[in-house]
Amino acid sequence: MLFARFRHNDLEVYGRVEDDRVRPLHGDLFGEHRLLEEAISLDSVRLLPPVRPGNILAAAVNYPSHVAESQKMTGKAEAPPQPELFLKPSSSVIGPEEAIVLPQGARRVDYEGELVAVIGRACRSVTAEEALAYVFGYTCGNDVSARHWQRDDLQWWRAKGSDTFSPLGPFLATGLDPASLELHTRLNSNEVQASSTGALIHSVGTLISFASQVMTLAPGDVVFTGTPGETGRLSAGDVVEVEIEGIGVLRNTVVAAESQGV
């Protein structure tokens, strides 16, 4: 099942996607809600980020194919024995068709296509086997990363957390097996990443369990699960797409900060 968060005229709500239409729902997506009778054409709505997370966690180096890429920055040639998670600010979230802004002075900024898990109910001190029961669904994410800041700064707050560095969307999908989804990233229509989430070093359940031992995850919080293979540079004028089986295509354009008056 697919859900969308969208704006239509003065209405900003969640809805259930049914083919090329969306039915608004009344209530709490993560709690009690009911579907309204009206169905609205998807062509007439603006899709928003599918969630407004309070916490954003992201996994570093979580595919074997990404270990070599990480070695260039960290010097480590091995996958981490336990999940390596970092935080991204909620202010970095944008939705489908919004622009990724390249900050002044960032130099190289890369795409990172990822599967993102969305928490559906309060989660604390759960096992890896229990963790997926706390997931509402999944969406596509792009963990946009400023490589020089990531390499040279002591902390990754701006390398991973600049405004627009966490695109999410287009939909929130339920009922998926996070261990067997095909992921593809395209830059200007050329495929630049391709993998199955079955290759994750630490499973979605393991990531959530690990985080839940020290922090409470709330409904709407998200966990970026890592990016596969090599990543590449984004330039102003580019179009980057992250497509995940069963979810859809997250599409964003890329602009320079100067063009935004920043």
Residue ranges, comma separated, of all CATH 2.30.30 domains in the chain are 2-46
What is the predicted pLDDT for the residue at 71?
62
CATH number of 2-46: 2.30.30
Q: Which residues pair with 99 in a beta bridge?
A: 253
Query: How does pLDDT run across 21-60, given as a tens digit for each residue?
Result: 999 999 999 999 999 999 999 999 999 999 999 999 999 9
Q: pTM of the prediction?
A: 0.95
Query: Distance between CA 118 and CA 224 in Å, rounded?
Result: 9
Is the pLDDT reported for residue 262 higher than 50?
A: no
Residue ranges, comma separated, of all CATH 3.90.850.10 domains in the chain are 56-260
The DSSP output letter for 219 is T
Planar angle of CA 91, 94, 100, nearest 5 degrees: 100
Average pLDDT over residues 218-244: 97
Q: Is 128 exposed, middle or buried (0-12, 13-18, 19+ CB in 10 A)?
A: middle
- The CATH number of domain 56-260, selected from 3.90.580.10, 2.60.40.1120, 3.40.50.2300, 3.90.850.10: 3.90.850.10
Is the pLDDT reported for residue 225 higher than 70?
A: yes
Q: Are strands 239-244 and 135-142 parallel, antiparallel or unpaired?
A: unpaired
Long-range contacts of 44-47 (CB under 8 A, 24+ apart): 44/8, 45/4, 45/6, 45/7, 45/8, 46/6, 46/7, 46/8, 47/4, 47/5, 47/6, 47/95, 47/96, 47/97, 47/169, 47/170, 47/171
Out of 41-45, 71-75, 170-174, 250-254, least confident range: 71-75
Contact by Cβ (8 Å): 231, 69: yes
Tokens of 150: 């990531």
